[in-house]
Amino acid sequence: MAGSTRATMRDVAALAGVSTKTVSNVVTGTVPVNADTRARVEQAMRKLDFVPNLSARSLRNGRSGVIAVALPYLATSFSAELLDHIVQAARLKGFAVQIEQTGSEPRRERELLSRARAHLIDGLILNPIRLEDSALTDADRQLPVVLIGEVEQQVADHVGIDSVAGAAEMTRHVIERGARRIAVLGGDEQHGIATATSRLRLQGVRQALAEAGLPADPRLTANHADWTIAGGAEAMIELLSRGVAFDAVLGFTDSLATGALHALHGRGIRVPEDVLVTGFDDVELSRFTEPALSTVQIDRAAFAGAAVDLLAERIADPSGTPRSITVPHRLVVRDSTRATPGGWIPGS
Amino acid sequence: MAGSTRATMRDVAALAGVSTKTVSNVVTGTVPVNADTRARVEQAMRKLDFVPNLSARSLRNGRSGVIAVALPYLATSFSAELLDHIVQAARLKGFAVQIEQTGSEPRRERELLSRARAHLIDGLILNPIRLEDSALTDADRQLPVVLIGEVEQQVADHVGIDSVAGAAEMTRHVIERGARRIAVLGGDEQHGIATATSRLRLQGVRQALAEAGLPADPRLTANHADWTIAGGAEAMIELLSRGVAFDAVLGFTDSLATGALHALHGRGIRVPEDVLVTGFDDVELSRFTEPALSTVQIDRAAFAGAAVDLLAERIADPSGTPRSITVPHRLVVRDSTRATPGGWIPGS
DNA sequence: GGTGCCGATTTCATCGATAGAACCACGGCG
DNA sequence: CGCCGTGGTTCTATCGATGAAATCGGCACC
């Protein structure tokens, strides 16, 4: 029975024969309201199909109840699964979620930080890829921000994992399996353009190689700007074209590793008999690739929950020093590393 | 040099020595403003780092510039890739995107339709899974809505593909390849609980089977509530456990098909030599599975663009009769159907 | 010189909800 | 007999931006 225009609190108040403040009290529940007054008001609300106007509310009390999540790419499995958990965690805290795609352009990342506060947003969960930390230090900090992923400085609240340790563990694992010439997909030798994720995971690999007394051959590191499956396949093909022998491939994400599996399979290189392959993230797919991927599992629910919690707290109290939460990770061994690799030799 | 609280139009006006309305005029650009007045105002805005408060604006003129997208699952590749395109299309039109996850619960779908208008939202793109069309007919239509995916009635703007035709084409394709006993993953015999997508694609399959004079064996139809990779694997295993011979498996999404590939591989059943496998959607992954999946490609950019365009138009003009856009699809043949299948026989 | 007009700018009310203070009826207590 | 706290309610100002209508300072024309 809703009219053409939606009902306002004034209408409800008129119908129930009370003031708008009383209606407000019923709605917000912050102040006790006489039982039958409340009943009258509630009945009126129902009858008019009243829904409070959140624009007005948010104007009045400066909160919109919406947080934004900005990720470099929305289309990857990792993003999608993370988003899923963030939305669920946010819902529990009463937040709606707005999404932004940065395409890992620093300009866009910075823009979000400064402009976003206009966008009816209470806070931002940002996965910075190429944003220099400096951009976060000063004025822009008006908007509550939680950074997720790899961040090298401690300038804002942060949730991440120990990428160095994760990559090192995985490297040790393949070394234990007998790998000696270990290739890396997603690592970037040119430090200038490398993302923090890339740098840290590469650092972990190097560390484990050093421990084992193995050399780090820069010719065994390949990357592709897009950390997608296609990007992984291309990087793998490039690596193969270099004609340098290897017996394991560490993908810095499961998507990269999946692409690598495809490229290797296309060349008739067997996994894990010839070459071991590993991923990072443990997305749903990695249990179902051929062979299933060994990977570094991140508890995404915990990760997302921590990010949302931190942000909610920061919104409630914008002051205070930045905190950092490191979510535990776990090595998951599957078929892609269940062998001692014979190794791939150029020309074979 | 921004203060602790963000600057308002009043502050800018004071600094520039004009009225707030003039600042507003400069910001919106709807009314001509004297060149040097404008310059003064712009300088003041820059100095104060002024950003208009969208809550206030949206209260005033009833538009928030935000649209919502509600999908059953956010974590599937299809959702993620679609979301990616929707966000991009929305950005071109100046809209931000809020996401909601319905978990395909009708309650939640309906709730979004009625409550969403409170949520600072100008319109909604909804992928209804179990919502009876009736829920859309009346009062709730106050919120501009575009339905995407399969909808059986024509009660709101709609963007979809011809699922019946797509499924029929795919079925004909495997029949041409020599398949005779064709299994279906995602089809549901119990009509009551089937989703529209399931019903329509099944209908397409049946139609093509009938054309070819092949029987439709209900024992060759399996489903799992989650149309995920894991769901596909489980459904495939159930199908195998029934002990009914088949020589092709039509997955109603690429995720289901990917799960099926995994399960088949686990049993040592070869694709496509023993059994053909096909998907639907053409997500990025399907080019990289082992073997690569034949599938029904949907132009997701066009799909998303059409949905956003339709919604933008509906927001601009809420009256008018519902329109429906059918995005073309295309059969993509890859290795998973590049053979004449020998067939799987129980016990082998 | 007065009138009319024009474009630029200001004044004022308003969008809908909410916090704070004022207010009211009532019974208890000094 | 009057003051006071109590629980509930109403009154009023306010959040920040914007459209409508009023205002103002020229400028042109008769």
* pLDDT tens-digit map of A150-189: 887 778 899 999 999 999 999 999 999 999 999 999 998 7
A251 forms bridges with which residues in the sheet? A185
- Chain A residues with beta carbon closer than 8 angstroms to that of B55: 55, 58-59, 64, 120
For the segment A248-266, the average pLDDT, to the nearest whole number, is 97
Task: Say yes or no: A116 and A180 in one domain.
Answer: no
Pair of tokens at residue B67: 């649209």
- State the first-to-last Cα distance of chain B, in angstroms, to the nearest integer: 76
Q: pTM of this prediction? A: 0.93
Q: What pLDDT digit, counting tens, does each position of A298-336 carry?
A: 999 999 999 999 999 999 888 888 899 999 999 999 999
pLDDT of residue A2: 40
Supply A171's token pair: 């490297």
The domain that holds B169 is classified in CATH as 3.40.50.2300
HEC sequence for A255-302: HHHHHHHHHHHHCCCCCCCCCEEECCECCHHHHCCCCCCEEEEECHHH
Co-location of B44 and B114 in the same domain: yes
Written as one letter, the residue type at A14 is: A
Point out the residue among B84, B115, B259 whose CB comes nearest to the CB of A75: B84
* Domain residue limits at B291: 163-297+332-337
Provide the pLDDT for residue B140: 52
Residue nearest D14 (alpha carbon to C1') = A60
Average pLDDT estimate for A63-73: 93
Q: What is the pLDDT of residues A160-170, one digit of tens each?
A: 999 999 999 99
Nearest to B47 by CA among B70, B74, B23, B28: B23
Q: What is the pLDDT of residue B119?
A: 73
pLDDT digits (tens, 9 = 90+) for A1-31: 444 567 899 999 999 999 999 999 999 888 8
Dmax (CA) of chain A: 88
Identify the pLDDT of residue A137: 56
Rounded alpha-carbon distances, angstroms, from residue A19 to A26, A34, A35:
11, 14, 16
Position A156 scores a pLDDT of: 87
Which among A56, A87, A233 has CB closest to B288? A233
| Whether B150 and B111 share a structural domain | yes
pLDDT at A138: 53
Contacts of A183 (CB under 8 A, 6+ apart): A220, A221, A222, A239, A246, A248, A249, A250
Residue at A211 is within a domain: yes
In a shared domain, residues B21 and B140:
yes
Q: Look at residue A347 in the predicted model and tell me its pLDDT.
A: 79
Beta strand pairing call for B329-332 and B295-298: antiparallel
Angle at alpha carbon of residue A330, lines to A328 and A333, rounded to 5° = 170
Residue A174 lies in a domain: yes
Q: What is the CA radius of gyration of chain A?
A: 26
3-state DSSP assignment of residue B270:
coil
By the CB < 8 Å criterion, does B225 face chain A? no
Please provide residue A113's backbone torsions phi and psi, each rounded to the nearest 5 degrees.
-60, -40
In total, how many domains does chain B have?
Answer: 2
| Separation CA B131–CA B236 (nearest Å) | 27
Which residue of chain B has the CA closest to A262? Answer: B288
Q: Report DSSP letters for B41-92, one per residue.
A: HHHHHHHHT----HHHHHHHHS--SEEEEEES-SSSHHHHHHHHHHHHHHHH
Q: What is the pLDDT of residue B2?
A: 41
Q: Is the CB of residue A120 less than 8 Å away from at least one CB of chain B?
A: yes
Q: Rounded to whole angstroms, how far apart are CA atoms A290 and A282?
A: 15
pLDDT at A47 over 60: yes
CB contact under 8 A, B118 and A51: yes
First to last CA, chain A: 76
Element (H, E) at B260: helix B254-266
Same-domain pairing of B16 and B153: yes
* A104 in any annotated domain: yes
What confidence score (pLDDT) does residue A217 get?
94
Same domain, B167 and B270: yes
* Cβ–Cβ gap B75/A81 under 8 Å: yes
Question: Which nucleotides of strand C come closer than 7 angstroms to any CB of the protein?
Answer: 7-12, 14-21
Q: Is the pLDDT assigned to residue A247 strictly greater than 60?
A: yes
Q: What is the pLDDT of residue B79?
A: 94
Q: What is the pLDDT of residue B1?
A: 40
CA distances from A9 to A26, A120, A174, B63 (A): 11, 22, 65, 19
Mean pLDDT of A222-247: 95
Q: Which residues of chain B have a pLDDT value below 70?
A: 1-5, 116-117, 131-141, 191-193, 348
The pLDDT value given to residue A132: 65
Is position A4 within any domain?
no
**Sign of the torsion formed by the C-alpha atoms of A104, A110, A116 and A121:** positive
Q: Which residue has the tokens 């609190």?
A: A9
Asked whether residue A267 falls in the same domain as residue A293, the answer is yes
A258/A305 same-domain check: no
| A348 domain-assigned | no
Residue B236 has which token pair?
A: 């495939």
Least confident of A30-44, A215-229, B258-272: A30-44
Residue B58 to residue A120, Cβ atoms within 8 A = yes
For B74, which of A87, A230, A233 is closest by C-beta distance? A87
- As a whole number, mean pLDDT of residues A128-145 equals 67
A286 touches chain B (CB under 8 A): no
Q: For residues A144-155, give the mean pLDDT.
A: 85
pLDDT of residue B37: 92
Q: Is residue A347 part of a domain?
A: no
Measured between alpha carbons, how far is B45 from A228 in angstroms, rounded to an integer? 41
Residues facing strand D, Cβ within 7 A: A 17-22, 25, 31-34, 37, 56, 59-60, 62; B 5, 8-10, 20-21, 24, 27-28, 30, 50, 52-53, 56-57, 59-61
Q: Would you call A267 an interface residue with chain B, using a CB distance cutoff of 8 Å? A: no
Same domain, B41 and B117: yes
Q: What is the pLDDT of residue A140?
A: 52
Cα separation, B37 vs A264, in Å, equals: 65
Residues B18 and B146 in one domain: yes
Q: Which of B98, B265, B285 minimises the CB distance to A290?
A: B265
Q: Are A293 and A303 in a shared domain?
A: no
Tell me: do A133 and A148 sit in the same domain.
Answer: yes
Cis before residue A341, ω within 30 degrees of 0? Answer: no
DSSP single-letter state for residue B120? T
DSSP states along B282-341: --GGGGTSSSPPBEEEE-HHHHHHHHHHHHHHHHH---S---EEEE-EEEE--GGGSS--
Residue A346 lies in a domain: no
Strand D positions closer than 7 A to protein CB = 7-12, 14-20
Cα A163–Cα A169–Cα A171 angle in degrees, nearest 5: 100
**Residue A345 lies inside a defined structural domain of this protein:** no
Beta bridge partners of B330: B297
Mean of the per-residue pLDDT values of chain A = 90
